[in-house]
Amino acid sequence: MSKHTTAIFCEAHPEPPFWRVQFETLNLPRPGCFLLADFGGPLREVLFPAGLSAGGFSVLVPPGHPVQRLLPGETVDLLGPFGRGFQTEQVERLLLVAEAHLLPPLLPLLEAAPMVTLVLAAPTRALLPPARRFPPSVELHLITQDGSVGYAGTLETCHGADSPLLEAVQWADRICASCDSAFYPKLARIVRQQRLNPPANFAQALIQIAMPCGVGACEVCRVQTVNGERRACTDGPVFDVLDFGL
Amino acid sequence: MIELAPNHKFGLPIATPVMPAAGAFGYGDEYHDLVDYRCLGALVTHPISLHPRRAAHPPRIILRGETLLIHTGHPNPGLNAILRQFRELWARLGLPVILHVLAANPAEMVEVVDKLAGETAIHGIELGLDEHTSVEKALALLRSIRLNSDFPVIVRLPFSGVATLAQPLAEAGVDALTLTSPPRGVLPLPEASGDGSPPLMRGRLYGPALFPLLLHQLHTWIPRLPVPVIACGGISSTADARACLALGASAVQLDAVVWRHPDLLATIAKELAYDAGNTAL
């Protein structure tokens, strides 16, 4: 019965383009793992921690999310933590790769290694979080589709000689990504091109899709990998990126 | 004990009238951290086919109000792999295991039951029929199980096929009927743009809105059927389960609500047991 727990809603404040919501709980998920929260809808909501502390965790949710209807002190019914999270033990140079709207699950990793580089992509500058949000020790490389700041292009097209992504992949000894799953076969190709014989889990990719049950019962969250179909909720949601491309 | 197969030579007794529906609960131990299995009447497995089946292309789920539209394609690794992986677990579970089987035709069904010969951890078969199953095909599938195995047979009827299939199957000797599998529905994809006809997703409907439809089916058909009926569709509380049992259902199956409230299975089982004067659960 250890996977059924509650959390106490503490506060919510805007952190554009999201709201940061703080919960107190003893059952903390590790980065990349998730909880299923009951906010009254027909399905539980998937919550990835965006911040972890001794007594609780925070999540970043879009405006209008049902969590904003909670009052401080209210309890939330949780299932979890579920899934296989990021493995970042004994890493010196950690590369994080994200699209801005999928960044929150990577935020707990910003200080997970002595040296951290974040490659962050968005359609335009206005959709990027301000640089002051990140710890000063994090090296930030921005990619915008309209070229309003940083490298002009997208993660998909970011493979020129001056690409910040290629250089960062060469530098890193671990990569954690949170992007659209359509990008992962491309990332797998880049990893294979830039690294000779990368070890298992050198590059890890988080899949964010609907996971109604969290335990592998509903079969809604199946993802196609080179090793066949896998369930995101129990086999992931963090996979070796090489599972997505030979 | 509740007998789901009173006319079968071995019977299919269950301790409580509450069980998960096929497709809601996996194959066995997925919910071991969240559900008290001692409260379940039986384990009804995820739909299993003779050969492996792949998942449907995403998206596989759409929410519309309280209603879910789901199309998974019933992915499963095939009967051989399932038996290899789960037969020992099923033997340890301590409750009846009902295998939910999908079969395209009677010949495939014969292959399935041949492979199940000697599987002592399996106590019954629930045959899943789709909307397009004719009476002749349904009877042929039932006959292919009957002639080739000793398992009690439950047939889960398609929502739109109760009127045509229920009585012929009951007369042909099915042990019990599950009313019903989730009805089919179609919804436009949420991200569809306004130009042209929107892309549609087809699937099965789940949610409390189905409960009145279930009660209508039970009210119409239980008085006419000489076999036990298991109620399935939109049940989301003890009051819902009581209403089904009051209409004559022998047991209830909970479907998608289990994902939100896994403990509801045990809660309903305990409250129904309390109604019956049994406080041991």
Task: Kindly report, residue by residue over B21-44, the tens digit of the pLDDT.
Answer: 999 999 988 999 899 999 999 999
How many domains, in total, are found in chain A? Answer: 2
Domain assignment present for residue A162? The answer is: yes
Inspect the interface and report whether the beta carbons of A4 and B25 lie closer than 8 Å: no
pLDDT-derived band at A2 (thresholds 50, 70, 90) equals low
* The pair of three-digit structure tokens given for residue B199, joined into one six-digit string: 């892309």
pLDDT of residue A101: 92
Q: Which residues of B touch A41 (CB under 8 A)?
A: 63
What are the structural domains of chain B?
2-191+198-275 (3.20.20.70)
Q: Report which of residues B143 and A165 the model is more confident about.
A: B143
Co-location of A107 and A66 in the same domain: no
Co-location of A23 and A97 in the same domain: no
Mean pLDDT, to the nearest integer, of B228-249?
97
Q: Does any CB of chain A come closer than 8 Å to the CB of residue B256? A: yes
Mean per-residue pLDDT of chain A: 91
Residue A132 burial (C-beta neighbours within 10 Å; 0-12, 13-18, 19+): exposed
**Shortest Cα distance, chain A CAs vs residue B98, angstroms:** 16
Co-location of A59 and A104 in the same domain: no
pLDDT of residue B268: 97
Specify whether the CB–CB gap between B268 and B238 falls below 8 A: yes
Diameter of chain B by CA atoms? 61
Inspect the interface and report whether the beta carbons of A44 and B31 lie closer than 8 Å: no
Q: Which residues of B touch A217 (CB under 8 A)?
A: 24-26, 30-31, 46, 258-259
Co-location of A42 and A149 in the same domain: no
CA–CA separation, A231 and A224 (whole Å): 9
Residue A165's identity, in one-letter code, is: L
CB proximity list for A168: less than 8 A, separation 6 or greater: A95, A97, A117, A119, A141
Whether the per-residue pLDDT at B167 is higher than 80: the answer is yes
Residue in B33, B74, B259 nearest the CB of A43: B259
Mean pLDDT, to the nearest integer, of B125-151?
95
Whether the per-residue pLDDT at A38 is higher than 80: the answer is yes
Co-location of A225 and A109 in the same domain: yes
How much of chain B, in percent, has pLDDT values that exceed 70?
97
**Which of B260, B261, B264, B265 to probe by mutation at the A interface, max A CB count within 10 Å?**
B260
Co-location of A174 and A211 in the same domain: yes
Residue in A1, A216, A222 nearest the CB of B30: A216
Burial B153-170 (b: 16+ CB within 10 A, else e): bbbbbbbebbeebbbebb
Inspect the interface and report whether the beta carbons of B70 and A41 lie closer than 8 Å: no
Inspect the interface and report whether the beta carbons of B68 and A43 lie closer than 8 Å: yes
Give me the domain span that covers residue A117: 93-244
**Shortest Cα distance, chain A CAs vs residue B56, angstroms:** 9
What are the pLDDT digits (tens) for A131-168?
A: 888 999 999 999 999 989 988 889 888 777 778 888 89
Co-location of A37 and A116 in the same domain: no
Co-location of A23 and A137 in the same domain: no
Question: Could you tell me the sign of the dihedral formed by the alpha carbons of B262, B264, B270, B276, in that order?
Answer: negative
CATH code, domain carrying A134: 3.40.50.80
Last residue of a domain, one of A61, A82, A103: A82
Co-location of A64 and A98 in the same domain: no
- Residue appearing with tokens 């809603």: A9
